[in-house]
Amino acid sequence: MNILVINCGSSSLKYQLIDMKEETVLAKGLVERIGIEGSRIKHDTTGKERVTIEEPMKDHKRALELVLNAILDKNYGAISSLDEIAAIGHRILHGGEDFVQPALITNEVIEAIRKNIVLAPLHNPAGLMGIEACRDLMPDTPMVVVFDTAFHQTMPAENYIYPIPYEYYEKYKIRRYGFHGTSHKYVSLRAAEILNKDIKNLNIVTCHLGNGSSIAAVKGGKCIDTSMGLTPLEGLPMGTRSGDIDPAIIPFIMDKEGITTSAEINDFLNKKSGVLGISGISSDFRDLEDAAEAGNERAKLALNIFCNGVRKYVAAYAAQMGSIDVLVFTAGIGENSSYVRERSCKGLECLGLIIDHELNDVRGKEAILSKNIVGPTIMVIPTNEELMIARDTLDIVNNR
Ligand code: AMP
């Protein structure tokens, strides 16, 4: 049974066709510049040469049409008929409080996603465009939506209500939602699988460290707390996002710099802050590590602030869960940067988290980084959000 996974941005579309029998990727690709000049698809069918298809794509529907043509192409395609696609899984950023798990797409579900646009004005509309395009082109194929927020809906109220007047939660649903849920779910399940333990008996802290970074406390397979909040701006300092700061800094800077609009504030907090803002060099951790090695003090400072943030959240979440059995690193930085992993774990020896310098010299593959036989295990697990979406899709379709 093949599942097509679709992840739409405002001008992009990522896709993967996965054969669920062996969970193998048959084809995958990326469409860029939808609705802009220079639209193109980079398409890879497993075992065949990559092709780049350059053609105007005025909207997501046209992009998807060309993606389906690519998947069906005699020379570089992966299947011979659309009937071989059993279901489609869509990633949507924000499910608000309406979705605690993936859902079969119906008109009511689409309405609920639309209602939550207010919480994700840039992302949910793009996801909806992908859903509409698939409905037009493959009306009889069942579709499932998987939300980035759903995994975190198990948090208790004391971890998602903000200490501001309660009426704002009631009026506007201002609360912690958390993001990267599909990734936190995948790596926590995979950690239990690798360790051959029942996830119900494990306290796991998952660190998704990439361009956007978040940490989650996963107790017995359920998320009880996470670092991102109402939006993906809260929590760790990130590539260009500030993460946690004193909220009073915002009116202070507005007064000093004569800033009057929320758009300008959003711009500086989301695009000019984080490790880019601190270092003045780059948002990319490879550049920062190179600069720090060459003696750049602000690059060192940015890396230290980031690693301090990771350490604080790990310790706080271990305390919230009462203990920690597994610490997982994933995503671009978590999977690749031995520097960040080692520095973040400094001080966590007090919780029994002892990273081994040699075992930590690993990049982009599943590995155990701790040697101790008793006490918690530190791991790297490359995330696989597409596979998690495909599994969830299959699950929902099979249990309709
Ligand atoms: P992601 O958002 O998960 O794709 O992560 C992207 C980020 O991972 C990049 O911006 C880099 O900061 C980081 N990254 C990727 N490769 C490495 C590496 N070898 N060493 C350090 N950081 C890396």
Residue 354, pLDDT > 90, answer: yes
The pLDDT of residue 285: 97
CA 142 to ligand 1 center in whole angstroms = 35
Rounded to an integer, what distance in angstroms lies between the CA atom of residue 90 and that of residue 346?
A: 39
Closest CA to 194 of 318, 378, 388, 387: 378
Secondary structure class of 70 (helix, strand, coil): helix
What does the pLDDT read at residue 225?
98
Say if ligand 1 is within 6 A of residue 286 CB.
Answer: yes
Nearest Cα residue to atom 19 of ligand 1: 336
- The answer on 321 and 225 residing in a single domain is yes
On whether both 204 and 100 belong to a single domain, the answer is no
Residues 98 and 216 in one domain: no
Which residue in this structure is represented by tokens 């927020």?
A: 149
Give domain status of residue 186, yes or no: no
Based on the fold, state whether residues 129 and 217 are members of the same structural domain: no
- The verdict on the CB of residue 333 being under 6 Å from ligand 1 is yes
From the CB of 336, is ligand 1 less than 6 Å away? yes
- Give tens-digit pLDDT for 261-289: 999 999 999 999 999 999 999 999 999 99
Same domain, 215 and 137: no
Q: Is 333 annotated as a binding residue?
A: yes
C-alpha 331 to ligand 1 mean position (Å)? 7
Instruction: Among 111, 129, 147, identify where a domain stops.
Output: 147
Residue 7 lies in a domain: yes
Percent of the chain scoring above 90 in pLDDT:
97
pLDDT of residue 212: 95
If pLDDT is split at 50, 70 and 90, which confidence band does 122 have? confident
Nearest atom (ligand 1) to Cα of 331: 3
Residue to mutate (ligand 1; options 282, 337, 365; most atoms within 8 A of CB)? 337
Torsion of the alpha carbons at 249, 253, 256 and 259, rounded to the nearest 10: -150
Is 208 labelled a binding residue? Answer: yes
Q: Side chain identity at 318, as an amino acid letter?
A: A
CB of residue 239 inside a 6 A radius of ligand 1:
yes
Counting the structural domains of the chain, the total is 2
Do 137 and 248 sit in the same domain of this protein? no
Q: CA–CA separation, 355 vs 377, rounded Å?
A: 9
Same domain, 76 and 135: yes
CA dist., res. 351 & res. 342, Å (int): 15
Q: What is the pLDDT of residues 37-78, one digit of tens each?
A: 999 999 999 999 999 999 999 999 999 999 999 999 999 999
284 in a labelled binding site: yes
> Of 112, 147, 182, which one is at a domain's C-terminal end?
147
Nearest alpha carbon, ligand 1 atom 10: 284
C-alpha 25, offset from chain centre? 20
Per-residue HEC secondary structure of 264-323 comes to HHHHHHHHCCHHHHHHCCCCCHHHHHHHHHCCCHHHHHHHHHHHHHHHHHHHHHHHHHCC
List active site positions: 148
> Cβ neighbours of residue 309 under 8 Å, at least 6 residues apart?
235, 236, 237, 243, 244
CA–centroid distance, residue 335 to ligand 1 (Å): 8
223 and 301 both lie in a single domain: yes
CATH number at residue 17: 3.30.420.40
Shared domain for 257 and 365, answered yes or no, is yes
| Alpha-helix residue ranges (DSSP H) falling in the chain | 60-72, 107-115, 124-137, 157-160, 167-172, 181-195, 249-257, 262-271, 274-279, 285-293, 297-321, 331-336, 338-345, 385-398
User: Would you say residue 182 lies in a domain?
Assistant: no
Can you tell me the mean pLDDT for 156-169? 98
Residue at which a domain ends, from 79, 113, 147 = 147
Identify the burial level of 8 via C-beta atoms within 10 angstroms of its C-beta, where 0-12 means exposed, 13-18 middle and 19 or more buried.
Answer: buried
Q: Report the percent of the chain where pLDDT is more than 70.
A: 100
Round the average pLDDT of the chain to a whole number and report it: 97
77 and 10, same structural domain?
yes
| Domain with 237 in it | 197-385
> Is residue 247 assigned to a domain?
yes
Contact indicator for 151, 223 with CB cutoff of 8 Å: yes
Distance from the alpha carbon of residue 281 to the mean position of ligand 1, in angstroms: 15
Q: Looking at the domain assignment, is residue 192 inside a domain?
A: no
**Protein residue with least CA distance to atom 9, ligand 1:** 284
Q: Does the structure show a pLDDT above 90 at 121?
A: no
Domain co-membership, 239 together with 353 = yes
Measured between alpha carbons, how far is 183 from 334 in angstroms, rounded to an integer?
Answer: 12
The model's pTM is 0.96
**Residue 203 domain-assigned (yes or no):** yes
Is 115 within the bounds of a domain? yes
Concatenate the DSSP letters of all residues of 15-65 into one string: EEEEETTTTEEEEEEEEE-TTSTT-EEEEEETTS--EEEE----SHHHHHH
pLDDT in tens, 205-218: 999 999 999 999 99
361 and 254, same domain (yes or no): yes
Amino acid at 16: Q
Tell whether ligand 1 has an atom less than 6 A from the beta carbon of residue 210: yes
211 lines ligand 1 (CB under 6 A): yes
Residue 391 belongs to some domain of the structure: no
